[in-house]
Structure 1
Amino acid sequence: MKTILWATLAANGNYAQSGPENPPTKEALDDFFTQVKDTGNFIVGRRTFEGMRGNGGPGPFADIDIVVVSKNATDIPGVTVVRSPEEALDYLKEKGHQTALISGGADIHNSFLGQGLVDELIFNVAPVLEGRGLNLLIDKENYCSKPVQLLDFKALGGGVVQLRYGIERAV
C-alpha cells in the first residue's frame, strides 16, 4: 500500500498551527479535500480529528474511511479507532484501499516517519513564519538525514507552494 503524508508547513519549516484565530489557508484546505477524495480515506490523530470535527456531523467526509490513531480513545462515532500506524494501514488494506493518506497531527506524522511507513510527502508551504510550530522528526534520539526525491512542485495560489517528495521506505 502506498502511503502519503500530507502536511501544511510554515515558510520556516514548522508545522502551520491552525485554530480559530489562525485558520488554515483556503488553498491548503482545498488541496486536502482533493487528496481525500482521490484516496477515499485519511488517517489522523485523535486531537487533530477532534479539532477538525467542529460541530460534529460527517460534513464533506460522509463517504470517506476515516481512521483515528489513538492509544486512549475507544470509540468515536463514524470513524474507525486503532492503536498504531500498522493497524491503521492494515485496516485500510482490508477495506481495499491502494493508497493511505496520513493527514494530521505531528505525533502521527512522526510515528509513521519514524517507523519508515511513508512513501510520499506532500508539503503545502504557507506564506507565514511560525515560532511555536512543531517539527517533523524521523529520529528523536539521533541526528540523521534521509534523502528524498522531489517529484513535483506547484503554486496552489494565495502564496501557498506545494512540494511533493518521494521517500524510500524502510525495508
Structure 2
Amino acid sequence: MKTILWAALSANGNYAQSGPDNPPKPEALADFTAHAGQSGNFIVGRRTFEGMQASGGGAVFEGLDIVVVTKRVKEIAGVTVVSSPEEALQYLASRGHSTALLAGGAELHNAFLGSGLVDELVFNVAPVLEGKGLNLVTDQHEYQFKDVELLDCKPLGSGVVQLHYAVKGSL
C-alpha cells in the first residue's frame, strides 16, 4: 500500500499552526480534501481529529474511511480507532484501499516516518513564518537520513506552494 504523508508547513519548515488568528489557507484545505477524496480515506491522530471536528470540517469527509490512531480511547463515533500505524494500514488494506493518506499531526507523522512507512510526501508550504512550532523529526529509530526525489512543484494560490516528493527506496 502506498502511504502519502500530507502536511501544511510554514515557510520556515514548521507545521503551520492554525487557529482563530491564523486560519488554514483555503487552498491547502481544498488540496487536502482533494487528496482525501482520491484516496477514499485518511489516517489522523486523535488530537488532530478532535481539532477537525471542532472546526466543523467533518461533513466534507462523509463516505471516507477515517482511521484515528490513538492509545487513549477505544472508540470514537463514526470512525475506526486503532492503536498503531501498522494497524491503520492493515485496516485500510482490508477495506480494499491501495493508497493511504496520512493527515497528521506531527506525532503521528513522526511515528510513520520512524517506522519507514511513508512512500510520498506532500507539503503545502504557506507564506508565513512561525517562531515556534512542531516539525518532522527524522532521527527517530533507524530513520535518520532519507533521500527524497522531487516529483512535482506547483503553486496552489495565495502564495501556497506544493512540494511533492517520493521517499527513495520505499516504493
**Which TM bucket (shorter chain)?**
over 0.9
Question: Is 1:48 matched with 2:54?
Answer: no
* 2:80 counterpart letter in structure 1: T
Identity among equivalent positions (%) equals 64
User: Are residue 134 (structure 1) and residue 134 (structure 2) matched?
Assistant: yes
Change (3 A) 1:13 1:55: closer
For the Cα contact (< 8 Å) 2:114–2:142, is it kept in 1? no
**Structure 1 residues 132 and 61: CA distance shift in structure 2, 3 A:** same
In structure 2, the residue matched to 1:146 is: 146
CA contact (8 A) 1:3 1:101 kept: yes
The CA distance in 1 between the partners of 2:129 and 2:141, in whole Å, is: 26
Q: Which runs of 5+ in 2 are unaligned?
A: none
Following the alignment from structure 2 to structure 1, what is the Cα–Cα distance between the partners of residues 124 and 75?
31
Counterpart in 2 of 1:63? 63
Match of 1:162 in 2: 162
1:39 maps to which residue? 39
CA contact (8 A) 2:113 2:143 kept: no
- CA 1:54–1:76 in 2, change beyond 3 Å: closer, same or farther? same
Give a deviation string over 1:55-97, Cα, whole Å, max 9, x none: 7684011100000000111110000000000000000000000
2:121 corresponding residue in structure 1: 121
Alignment-derived partner of residue 4 in structure 1: 4
Report the equivalent of 1:20: 20
Q: Confirm or deny: 8 A CA contact 2:44 2:105 kept in the other structure.
A: yes
1:91-137 Cα offsets, whole Å, 9 max, x none, are 00000001000001000000000000000000000000011110101
1:138-163 deviation line (CA, Å, top 9, x unaligned): 22478932110000000000000000
Query: Do the aligned residues in 1 keep the contact of 2:6 with 2:121 (CA within 8 Å)?
Result: yes
8 Å contact from structure 2 (residues 153, 163) kept in 1? yes
For residues 153 and 56 of structure 1, the distance between their equivalents in structure 2, rounded to whole angstroms, comes to 30
Separation of aligned partners in 2, 1:143 and 1:85: 15
Asked whether the equivalents of residues 115 and 170 of structure 1 are also in contact (C-alpha less than 8 Å), the reply is no
What TM-score do the two structures reach when normalised by structure 2? 0.94
For 1:124 and 1:68, locate their aligned partners in 2 and report how far apart those are by CA, in whole Å.
22
Counterpart amino acid of 1:118? V
* Amino acid in structure 1 at the alignment position of 2:54: G
Distance 1:14 1:43, change over 3 A: same
For structure 1, list consecutive stretches of 5 or more residues without a partner in the other structure: none
**1:164 is paired with a residue of what secondary structure?**
strand
Q: Which moved more, 1:138-147 or 1:28-37?
A: 138-147
